[in-house]
Amino acid sequence: MKRLILALAVLGAPMMVATPALAAKPPIYTPALNNVAVGGYDAVAYFTVGKPVRGTDAFKTEWRGATWKFSSAANLGKFTANPTAYAPQYGGYCAWAVANGYTAKGDPLQWKIVGGKLYLNYDAGIQAKWVKDIPGFITKGNGNWPKVLSK
């Protein structure tokens, strides 16, 4: 029995050492199976056409550890010239969750532009809560960001 416990301790040790490094979340939300920001939607299109538009592999760039896709060369150019003007706030994590001190995925179909900035929410139900006090939630979110990434 002692040998089994010792073997498990030795085999598990590398995993225990690696765990703290994996604890911090990336600054840009992407799903576990790919590295695409905003669910593959064109972050610039929210501002230029006022709705979510799918990006394509023909127009993409890497920024802050994620792949960003766009629907046109013009939108790709706008983003690369000033990514912080178009990237969603809180790295695309849910704005309501960040305001409440944690992170959750942002849904690119649940969005609002407020004060010239793009915010995503987890789903329609959460967005309904968020719109009840957008200025208050933004203030709280700004206070929590980016500290929530380490939780």
Delimit the domains of the chain by residue range. Answer: 26-82, 88-151
Buried b (16+ CB within 10 A) or exposed e, 87-122: bbbbbbbbbbbbbbeebbbbbbebbeeeeebbbbbb
**Tens digit of pLDDT at every position of the chain (151 positions):** 444 333 433 334 333 333 344 458 999 999 989 999 999 999 999 999 999 999 999 999 999 999 999 999 999 999 999 999 999 999 999 999 999 999 999 999 999 999 999 999 999 999 999 999 999 999 999 999 999 999 8
Tell me phi and psi for residue 26, to 5 degrees: -70, 155
Residue 115: per-residue pLDDT? 98
Helix (H, G, I), strand (E, B) or coil at 53: coil
Taking the CB of residue 146, how many other CB atoms lie within 10 A of it? 14
Residue 23: per-residue pLDDT? 54
Closest CA to 79 of 53, 105, 102: 53
Tell me phi and psi for residue 49, to 5 degrees: -115, -5
**How many angstroms separate the CA atoms of 20 and 32, rounded?**
18
For the whole model, what pTM was predicted? 0.85
Residue 109: per-residue pLDDT? 98
